[in-house]
Amino acid sequence: MEQIVLQLKNARKRRLLLELLGELDFVKVTSVIRDGRKVAFANELIEALVEAKADEGEKKMQRARDFLKHG
């Protein structure tokens, strides 16, 4: 499964886009983020995951459990 993040240039077209996506049997809309801070956080998280994936095997990454324990 793949995920695609979209940013709408015109928020008034949101309903139309969701209706179109709902008609496609191969697409599942899992969440809609409207809060600007949450959008920024989601973008940063996606960027970090992409970087981590690109660095896979190249450098030693800290385990999430260790990071959460020690910060």
For residue 1, tell me if it sits in a domain: no
| Positions in the chain short of pLDDT 50 | none
In a domain, 2, yes or no: no
Overall domain count for the chain: 1
16 is in which domain, residue-wise? 11-70
* Main-chain dihedrals φ then ψ at residue 5, nearest 5 degrees: -105, 130
Report pTM: 0.45
6: in domain: no
Residue 18 · residue 6 · CB < 8 Å: no
Do 14 and 8 meet the contact criterion of CB atoms below 8 Å apart?
yes
Tell the residue number behind the tokens 């993040």, with chain if given: 5
User: What is the predicted pLDDT for the residue at 54?
Assistant: 75
